[in-house]
Amino acid sequence: MIRFEGVSKAFGATPALDGLDLTVPEAAFAVLLGGSGAGKSTALRTINRLVEPDAGRVLLRERDVASEPAPALRRRIGYVIQGIGLFPHWTVARNIGAVPRLLGWPAARIAARVDELLALLRLDPDAYRDRLPAQLSGGQAQRVGVARALAADPDILLMDEPFGALDAVTRQALQQEMARLHAATGKTILLVTHDVEEAFALATRIAVMADGRLLQEGPPRELLDAPADPRVRDLLDGGAIGMRRLALSQAATLASPGGEAPPSLPRIPRTATARDALEAMLAARAEAVLLLDESGAPAGVVALRDLLRA
């Protein structure tokens, strides 16, 4: 879907990208992860030509992005930034419909798409379509920013530190929404972050960068189990490598039949991770948790010994 071939970029005497080679597969939720100055945002912006590389090329479905006029390219790629960038004097509906209007969509189609996206991002269309950005919370405004990026139904969604300015609770809620959105739409998403926890909460693939170069790329568990560079190990470990491994495992895959589970066991959804199960045990000072299915019926028990094996 997205391929960087030997992409280099310097700003003055400072190199930002140094021969970047990277492939983002179709329908992946990929994350560019690294510290400040790693080249993550520069790499992202070469895709929609907000930054033009000095050498190398970027391809979308085997087509060089430089072969297409930049405005046309950007209209078919969703782009979400940390500052959101909503037009303050436009309503939510008008902000979301900006790109479809440029593409000449009929008004009725735009209105239907606005309502569809607001509902998808769990904002009541009747309550939000006519609000101005100043009347939104930070989390609501960021959802509107995502809706605007998706308005023309692009195949690719680029996200540059989209949740960095939000409080921890709102950030976690939006991360969950993005994971749900990716599962529902199957779009290719490329997100830039320096937050390791965010990367592991969202990514199907992680590309770790430093000094404008790719250090390692692959599924999160592969990077945890076999870091190819000491800098990858240091970044991903952070003293919590065991917890991160648990976060990549579903509690339901470790469960045994509940039988007559004691009523005192803490209860968590069967969709929870193994890390969620451990945290529930610690909070309740219990050695097991009971999983519940969507109807609230018992769906198995996960014990502390199961987590240790995992």
For residue range 50-94, list pLDDT tens digits in order. Answer: 999 999 999 999 999 999 999 999 999 999 987 668 999 999 999
pLDDT of residue 236: 86
Domain boundary among 213, 228, 245: 245
* Per-residue DSSP letter, 67: G
Among residues 245, 265, 294, which one ends one of the domains?
A: 245
Structural domains counted in the chain = 2
DSSP 256: B
At 118, the pLDDT band (50, 70, 90 cuts) reads: very high
- CA dist 282 and 275 (Å) reads 11
Q: CATH number for the domain including 130?
A: 3.40.50.300
pLDDT of residue 83: 67
Residues 187 and 270 in one domain: no
Q: What is the pLDDT of residue 238?
A: 64
Distance CA 310, CA 178 (A): 27
What is the distance, to the nearest Å, from the Cα of residue 11 to the centroid of all Cα atoms in its chain? 28
Average pLDDT over residues 103-113: 96
Give the relative orientation of helices 107-120 and 138-150 as an angle to the nearest 10 degrees. 130
Q: Do residues 210 and 137 share a domain?
A: yes
Same-domain status, 204 and 61 = yes
Per-residue pLDDT at 278: 94
Same domain, yes or no, for 176 and 62? yes
Over range 272-281, report the average pLDDT.
Answer: 92
Q: Are 131 and 50 in contact (CB under 8 A)?
A: no
Is the distance from CB of 200 to CB of 244 less than 8 angstroms? Answer: yes
Question: Which pLDDT band holds residue 11 (cuts at 50, 70, 90)?
Answer: very high
Q: What are phi and psi of 226, to 5 degrees?
A: -140, 70
139 in the same domain as 187:
yes
* Strand-by-strand arrangement of the 63-64 sheet: 14-24, 2-11, 55-60, 63-64
Instruction: Report the percent of the chain where pLDDT is more than 70.
Output: 98
Alpha carbon 217 to its chain centroid, in Å, reads 16
Backbone angles phi, psi at 85, to 5 degrees: 75, 30
Give yes or no: residues 111 and 238 share one domain.
yes
Beta-sheet pairing, 63-64 with 55-60: antiparallel
Cα–Cα distance, 40 to 16 (Å, whole number): 9
Cα separation of 178 and 30, whole Å?
12
Task: Answer for the pair 122, 175: CB distance below 8 angstroms, yes or no.
Answer: no
Residue where a domain stops, chosen among 245, 262, 295 = 245
Residues 226 and 130 both lie in one domain: yes
* Claim to verify: residue 183 and residue 40 sit in the same structural domain: yes
CB distance 214 to 232 below 8 Å:
no
- The distance in angstroms from the start CA to the end CA of the chain is 33
Predicted confidence band at 211 (pLDDT cuts at 50, 70, 90)? very high
Same domain, 283 and 217: no
Shared-domain flag, residues 226 and 256 = no
133 and 254 both lie in a single domain: no
- CATH code of the domain in which 292 resides: 3.10.580.10
d(CA 243, CA 111): 44
Look at residue 170 and give its three-state secondary structure: helix
What pLDDT shows up at residue 244? 85
Q: Same domain, yes or no, for 149 and 212? A: yes
Domain that holds residue 158: 2-245
